[in-house]
Structure 1
Amino acid sequence: MADPSTYRPRPGEIPTDPGVYRFRDAEGRVIYVGKAKSLRPRLSSYFQDIGALHPRTRRMVTTGASVEWTVVKTEVEALQLEYSWIKEFDPRFNVKYRDDKSYPYLAVTMSEEFPRAQVMRGVKRKGTRYFGPYGHAWAIRETLDQLLRVFPIRTCSAGVFKRAAQVGRPCLLGYIDKCSAPCVGRVDAEQHREIAEDFCDFMAGNTARFVRQIEREMQAASAALEFERAAVLRDNLGALTKALERSTVVLGDATDADVFAFVGDELEVAVQVFHVRGGRVRGQRGWVVERENADAADPEGQAEGAMGPLVQALLQQVYGGESAEGVPDEVLVTHLPDDADAVRAWLASLRGARVDVRVPQRGDKRALIETVSRNAEQALARHKVARAGDLTARSQALQELQDALDLDEAPLRIECYDISHVQGTNVVGSMVVFEDGLPRKSEYRRFIVKDPKDDLHDMGEVLTRRFRRYVEERSGAEPGSIIDPDTGKPRRFAYAPDLVVVDGGRPQVEAAQAALTELGITDVTVVGLAKRLEEVWLPGSEFPVILPRFSEGLYLLQRLRDEAHRFAITFHRQRRSKAMTASVLDDVPGLGEARRKALLRTFGSVKKLRAASVEEIQAVPGIGPTLAAAVVTALAAPDEAAPAVNLTTGEVL
């Protein structure tokens, strides 16, 4: 690990012009590429006190061994050069977006003499027009099959095309009029290219022209009594209509736009984009990116959690290799990129016209970006579930926790605790259980804190109550047995966890450890996960354990913490809602929820119930004389004396 001061450039050497810089490691490999409006303040910020740097930036500068820079004239040039270097060197500390799946495109090879329409994946090729991406390859084939009636473009491979030309006989599509058969000379290269260009225009969103043209031809054929031709044109019109129905109109002004939504947590960000052409959604795509290196351009960590660098990196990746026709009129985002003006100018230079990059605030475009955001949330949730369900990743997570926390065995059973309240009211605690790295929801428990004081005291009370039950049940069981002989099932709290996780830092860990020590429990490890920097604290430790941001062990701890928080806050909200809607009937001893609902259903309101007599209340099924008398006593108005009731017989005295 290098000392940044050993390769720090002298301040006078660094220019104040805009430019792009590269950090290299000891072996000369580029590990980070960044740009700046002014190189001197940006580079100087990397070489301040190492303790003041953001942890991700600290790791980058201590890995590096040298830094170099290139001066450019404008911020747009800096953006272009930064993208070129990122693409060339693939630096390990730059943000890397990976597709959450491999998306197919409908591609037309316009660079060939006889353009071909086909399904394509992977790297885009020069001279080929792409439409999509689509969710499934079969969706492309169904759309293409519909459109071949109107645009009989070649779809065969080079080998099939060559054999057909040699034998002078077209393939099946040529016989059923779904190919213009340029292989046998039915159309020449120029005519076939016109068909391909019309097909591309239709796919690009210029659909109304073709629909109107076919309608005019159909009406003309019908007027000329050419009914067979009119029927063919009718079928062609139906094919176009069916193809258009596959893409929903989302913007009524026929806008060309790409709509990006970013949704993330502490570790990862999910991105979804809808490609809208002619007001219709033509394709959808998604990525997932780890946030480990997202803040390397923010050395002091002042923009923790900010999406600006991520948005800029994604736009560079999406449009950096595109031709001008791939850049739409508008780029709608949930968060503006860093140096938004430079990004607009860069995209405008690619497109040759103005490109608007903005966050929509109202109307159809705002509604559309909210839809894309929901897709991003679902994509992130699916990614988390898939990652959590991976056996290899779970095994790796448990092994990493064992090594990092110096445990004797992998923590197969982990319990996590959290406290939830609003200004000390309705204080509750939660216990969630993960076994083998997966939630075991049947073991979840909720606690109502009986004597709330502060978070440390409340955490101690919850742990004391849970582990006191553990001690009691273990003491009542036979040695080595946790099975209840009466039920034949494991005792509820007889399992001891291998690891206890509390939501918080050093104070919460010390409070949890004190609760266990007081009960004489010494074989359970306690750790705390602090939110600010995701540090893992151990009791009696002066410094936290820092797990790598890409660590599966850290990911498992975060899932535990988030699940405990969700479980606690759900219970707190239930109690808070119940307290806000509490009825005087809640305080009647012996009156449960079912009987309370029966009373309200019979009388309609508490006011009418208050005016009822003991005999009328007793007439409700399930209400006896004693309970009816108790209801009358509880509902007596404060300003009037409650009737004297014999609680044994229910008679008014």
Structure 2
Amino acid sequence: MADPLTYRPASGSIPDAPGVYRFRDASGRIIYVGKAKSLRSRLNSYFADPWTLHARTQQMVTTAAGVDWTVVSTEVEALQLEYSWIKEFDPRFNVRYRDDKSYPYLAVTLDEDYPRLQVMRGAKRKGVRYFGPYSHAWAIRETLDLLLRIFPARTCSAGVFKRAGQIGRPCLLGDIGKCSAPCVGRVSVEEHRTIVNEFCDFMAGKTDAMERRLEKQMYAAAKEQEYELAARLRDDLVALRRALEKQSIVLGDGTDADVVAFADDPLEAAVQVFHVRGGRVRGQRGWIVEKTEELTIGDLVHHFCSQIYGDEAVASDVPRELLVPELPDDVEALTEWLCDRRGSKVAIRVPQRGDKKTLMETVGRNAGQSLAQHKLRRAGDLTARGRALEEIEDALGLASAPLRIECFDISQIQGTDVVASMVVFEDGVARKSDYRRFVIKGATDDVSAIGEVIRRRFHRLLTDEEKTEEDGRPRKFAYPPQLVVVDGGGPQVNAAAEVLTTMGVTDVAVCGLAKRLEEVWLPDDPMPVIMSRTSEGLYLLQRVRDEAHRFAITFHRQRRSARMTASDLDSVPGIGSTRRKALLRQFGSVKRLAAASLEEIAEVPGIGKRTAQMVLDALTNQPVKPAD
């Protein structure tokens, strides 16, 4: 534990100006980023009596070994720099907004020739328009099922769409009128996109015009005595109104706003957001926040806006109005920054009365329930993670809990395509951005392969400790683990320990986990360490080992597949990159290509019967007689 006074800068050397500051640990890793209207005032507050600080702030300043800062001209510049550094460095002690669950969206793939309506989760991508998020996937599907009567757009996957076009027959939705069947040419590209654009307009809140248009068409059809068409339009109108009933009006003035509310305790906070568009609640979303210092509700509002609306993929979703329970201290700078991201005016307000205040109270109750549910779910997990690290420390006789664990695994088949994986767990949680994959050359068994990968990893560690990136920060491989885990028993552990000893690395512990009896092996120890089957420490080691195995075998399959494709097809005379891609695009894999008939292969554009014959000969090693 470091004493903050050992790296405290002289008070007079800190500028009394706006800026952004960074705390670094002993390895040079950035562990906290913050902004301040006055750097001098803000930084001096961290070097008060540690026992008067918030528990997480106390942990941060005692973990840090240095602090630096960058002066900027305005608070808006500080806000922009703070956001970019948090996104780049992912500091351990910064407030992190993590979803309390994975929310589904209704997505429209506008980047395709025939856009598709579908349920999507995860990161947003360009060329896709999103509506939501929704609380449940079934809610999207139920609404979509109603709207497909009026907007019969494509919902099928690329494979189903392609197959329907090949056989010339649409799927069931096309037969019952819930798809316009562009796959078989019932509508053109332009007509299908018109349907999709009308669907997007409806989901964006332009519902009144659509309702009036359908009603007008229905009466016109009845007047012309086209009663079947009138009946179908009547059913479409009913379906439209049923869909609208599911989205009740909460703000009668047609406001576009995000209503944000918080529920917090000294350690954590829950955030709930209702997305209101056109006066209707279009979606709901929630996050859980770990407090890293003493934060007011205004501070939480600041962090929420800068992290959630800072993402480029979300910038277009910044609403015209943001309703919050309390204004942050930098509300003017924050408003200017949000206006810049939206490209038009944005207002941040605290509702005082009427429907908006009532809705804020509803969102607040949801936040309170979310925090209560989170504590029930996570209490055991947080306790278990701490207990697991303590049990590993005791079982292996370590000087401290292994906050960073790196695990290595080897994957091969009889000495071919030998690869290794390195996975990283920090504080008992996987840190996937630090995962690495290695291609092993010159090793044919697990023991020699373990030696090679450990040598390469720690050679990079020793090299990168003396080097920095252009911005002065240490390279990623320069962060040492407290514990190295290898998949295997005594021979693998001894090989890893021998390499570390040869390289002069003495402050990293090594152990191995053997699959047979889940025994923990230490270097030069004839007997394994037996941990209880109910031990949280053993469970954590198993998860680390299994993740390394999964990562290694995935990489090995990719390498093997690429090798098979290159060796088996590239050796066929007349098969270049264009024909190889055409064959794999048609059949999907070398295995399916080998199982195909001569006639099926010959149907691929650019492949005749003679070339198809040579392809089959190369894949099966059995000459095939051409068909007459």
Give TM-score, length-normalised by structure 2.
Answer: 0.58
- Mapped contact 1:254–1:279 kept (Cα < 8 A): yes
1:49-448 aligned within 5 A:
50=50, 53-291=53-291, 293-295=292-294, 306-321=296-311, 322-387=313-378, 390=380
Cα distance in 1 for partners of 2:71, 2:129 equals: 35
Change (3 A) 1:119 1:357: same
Cα distance in 1 for partners of 2:88, 2:60 equals: 19
- Mapped contact 1:262–1:335 kept (Cα < 8 A): no
- Mapped contact 1:4–1:65 kept (Cα < 8 A): yes
1:28 paired to 2:28? yes
Change (3 A) 1:141 1:64: same
- Mapped contact 1:294–1:310 kept (Cα < 8 A): no
Deviation at 1:8, TM superposition (A): 3.1
Cα distance in 1 for partners of 2:78, 2:198 equals: 38
Change (3 A) 1:68 1:115: farther
Q: Which amino acid is the alignment partner of residue 146 of structure 1?
A: L
**Secondary structure in structure 1 of the residue aligned to 2:217:** helix
1:476-625 aligned within 5 A:
none
**Secondary structure in structure 2 of the residue aligned to 1:320:** coil
Cα distance in 2 for partners of 1:327, 1:382 equals: 28
Give TM-score, length-normalised by structure 1.
Answer: 0.56
- Mapped contact 2:20–2:36 kept (Cα < 8 A): yes
Change (3 A) 1:69 1:395: closer
Q: Which amino acid is the alignment partner of residue 56 of structure 1?
A: R
- Mapped contact 1:261–1:369 kept (Cα < 8 A): yes
Cα distance in 2 for partners of 1:123, 1:267 equals: 28
**Secondary structure in structure 2 of the residue aligned to 1:284:** strand
Cα distance in 2 for partners of 1:397, 1:72 equals: 40
- Mapped contact 1:182–1:189 kept (Cα < 8 A): yes
Cα distance in 1 for partners of 2:58, 2:375 equals: 28
In the other structure, the counterpart of 1:611 is none
Deviation at 1:75, TM superposition (A): 1.9
Deviation at 1:398, TM superposition (A): 9.8
Change (3 A) 1:395 1:94: closer
Q: Which amino acid is the alignment partner of residue 168 of structure 1?
A: G
Cα distance in 2 for partners of 1:104, 1:164 equals: 28
In the other structure, the counterpart of 2:420 is none
Q: Which amino acid is the alignment partner of residue 91 of structure 1?
A: P
Question: Matched residues, percent identical?
Answer: 66
**Which 5+ residue runs of structure 1 have no aligned equivalent?**
296-304, 403-653
Q: Which amino acid is the alignment partner of residue 306 of structure 2?
A: Q
Deviation at 1:57, TM superposition (A): 2.4
Cα distance in 1 for partners of 2:48, 2:386 equals: 34
Deviation at 1:244, TM superposition (A): 0.8
Deviation at 1:349, TM superposition (A): 0.9
Post-superposition Cα deviations, 1:475-524, rounded to whole Å, max 9, x if no partner, equal xxxxxxxxxxxxxxxxxxxxxxxxxxxxxxxxxxxxxxxxxxxxxxxxxx
Greater CA deviation, 37-46 or 112-121? 37-46
Deviation at 1:11, TM superposition (A): 4.5
Greater CA deviation, 34-43 or 102-111? 34-43
In the other structure, the counterpart of 1:410 is none
Deviation at 1:371, TM superposition (A): 0.9
Change (3 A) 1:6 1:387: closer
Post-superposition Cα deviations, 1:407-430, rounded to whole Å, max 9, x if no partner, equal xxxxxxxxxxxxxxxxxxxxxxxx
Greater CA deviation, 127-136 or 4-13? 4-13
Deviation at 1:399, TM superposition (A): 11
**Secondary structure in structure 2 of the residue aligned to 1:34:** strand
Cα distance in 2 for partners of 1:227, 1:261 equals: 51
Greater CA deviation, 166-175 or 143-152? 166-175
- Mapped contact 1:100–1:287 kept (Cα < 8 A): yes
Cα distance in 2 for partners of 1:200, 1:184 equals: 24
Cα distance in 1 for partners of 2:201, 2:230 equals: 24
- Mapped contact 1:119–1:137 kept (Cα < 8 A): yes
Deviation at 1:53, TM superposition (A): 4.2
Cα distance in 1 for partners of 2:141, 2:265 equals: 37
Cα distance in 2 for partners of 1:233, 1:70 equals: 64
Aligned length: 391
Deviation at 1:143, TM superposition (A): 0.5
- Mapped contact 1:324–1:352 kept (Cα < 8 A): no
Q: Which amino acid is the alignment partner of residue 126 of structure 1?
A: K
Q: Which amino acid is the alignment partner of residue 191 of structure 1?
A: E
1:463-482 aligned within 5 A:
none
- Mapped contact 2:57–2:293 kept (Cα < 8 A): no
- Mapped contact 2:55–2:293 kept (Cα < 8 A): no
Post-superposition Cα deviations, 1:228-286, rounded to whole Å, max 9, x if no partner, equal 11111111111111111111110011111111111122332222111111111111112
- Mapped contact 1:323–1:350 kept (Cα < 8 A): no
Cα distance in 2 for partners of 1:245, 1:173 equals: 24
Greater CA deviation, 171-180 or 112-121? 171-180
Cα distance in 2 for partners of 1:154, 1:74 equals: 49
Post-superposition Cα deviations, 1:202-230, rounded to whole Å, max 9, x if no partner, equal 11111111111111111111111111111
**Which 5+ residue runs of structure 2 have no aligned equivalent?**
392-628
Cα distance in 1 for partners of 2:44, 2:211 equals: 61
**Secondary structure in structure 1 of the residue aligned to 2:243:** helix
Cα distance in 2 for partners of 1:109, 1:36 equals: 41
Deviation at 1:6, TM superposition (A): 3.3
Q: Which amino acid is the alignment partner of residue 367 of structure 1?
A: T
**Secondary structure in structure 1 of the residue aligned to 2:213:** helix
Q: Which amino acid is the alignment partner of residue 99 of structure 2?
A: D
Cα distance in 2 for partners of 1:386, 1:39 equals: 39
